[in-house]
Amino acid sequence: MDDTSDLLIFWAVVIARFLIPLSIPRYPLPGVLACLILDAVDQTIFQLFTPLSLEGYQGYDKALDVYYLSITYLSTLRNWSNLYAFKLDRFLFYYRLVGVAIFELVHLRPLLLIFPNTFEYFFIFYETIRLKWDPKVLTKSKLITSAALIWVFIKIPQEYWIHVAQMDTTDWIKSNPSNALILVAYAVFLLGLAWWLIRDLPPTHTGLKFGALSVAAAQVVPSLPEEVKKERARLINKQVLEKVALLSLLTIIFAQILPGVRSDNLQITIGVSVFVVINTILSHWLSRRGRQWKSIIQEFVVMSAVNMGLVLLSNYLLPRYGGSIVLENTLFFILLLTLIITLYDRYWQLHTRNNVNSEAEGELSF
């Protein structure tokens, strides 16, 4: 039997991996760096301080990685005022997500070299710039150049090292201590690229802006045009379609890496689509009656109760028709997906208003 202190350490790490990503929308750079560090050291913590077997943790570790990257993407809806940077980052996020989904289906490691996680480091680059500059100073050419440099000089070497060569940096340095000089030289090279990229930016503002105001709070927001209001009022709109795509990809990935899932990808996509539409119908029903959520927490709690009720109803009815679900894993999916839907819906409204404001200023439309 596992010692109580071992279980406390285990659950402290797991809970931290759930909660720390929720800081990313408000404190983007510290939040994502904390997630990166915790992801890097969690298994080392278990090995050093507990005798627990990590065999069953591997799948949940991957799921938690995808979870915090999803929260990172959602934070760009809330915070990013540079719409071209947002669109580029969104492409990088979905490109990586598709690659991870394909990899989990076919288990070919070189795929992760083709679909590198450029998204995360591009996010860090943008948020680092925001510490001292207004991100709107980043032009299209500078944004594309930064993404290309991250892709070629950081992520491809890293993905090859970890997933194809499957090398351990610590062991590599131990085998030949002079290898550390190679890493130092490469770090200096990367710093030189970063300086070259930002050398012609305008003067910085005073202080460091670690906290992020939402795009709606940071500027004067006009009322939404009628066509935007009509689009949002439709049951099936761009927002719903993106939610179906996002949640389907996430659920397919989770289904491959978590134990006990017995659904094929078509069933998962159909199930997620029904799940999203039911949630959308409920939101529209409340909106038409003039009711608005007072807070994200209230929305999450109510929608979680509704969605868990749907899961329990399915668990009761499916055996009567020869079907079944793994209740524990399904409840885990539902809570995670409900959180993502809640944040997506709230932050999408802010992003839409930012887009309307930027169009008024002559920027590209979303």
Instruction: Return d(Cα 33, Cα 53) in angstroms, integer.
Output: 27
- Single residue among 195, 214, 233 that ends a domain in this structure: 214
Q: Are residues 171 and 229 both part of a single domain?
A: no
pLDDT value of position 365: 40
4 found inside a domain: no
Shared-domain flag, residues 103 and 201: yes
Exposure string for 215-240, b = 16+ CB within 10 A, e = fewer: bbeeeeeeebeeeeeeebeeeeeebb
Indicate whether 60 belongs to any domain: no
Residues 184 and 254 in one domain: no
Residues 309, 243 share a domain: yes
Report pTM: 0.86
pLDDT at 77: 93
Q: How many domains does the chain have?
A: 2
240 and 359 belong to one structural domain: yes
Q: Give the pLDDT of residue 366.
A: 37
Instruction: List average pLDDT for each run of 10 residues in the chain, which is 366 residues long.
Output: 75 90 95 93 84 71 87 95 94 95 86 93 96 92 96 93 83 88 94 93 85 66 52 63 84 72 62 73 64 74 84 77 69 82 85 64 45
Answer yes or no: do 122 and 180 share one domain.
Answer: yes
Same domain for 283 and 356, yes or no, is: yes
Does residue 310 contact residue 245 with C-beta atoms inside 8 Å?
A: no
With beta carbons less than 8 A apart as the criterion, state whether 237 and 231 touch.
yes
Domain boundary among 185, 214, 243: 214
Containing structural domain, residue 172: 83-214
189 in the same domain as 126: yes
pLDDT of residue 1: 44
**Domain match, 327 and 208 both:** no
Question: Are 150 and 190 in a shared domain?
Answer: yes
Note whether 155 and 198 are same-domain residues: yes
Q: Is residue 178 part of a domain?
A: yes
Q: Assess if residue 186 is contained within a domain.
A: yes
H/E stretch holding 215 reads: none
In a domain, 297, yes or no: yes
Judgement on whether residues 230 and 104 belong to the same structural domain of the protein: no
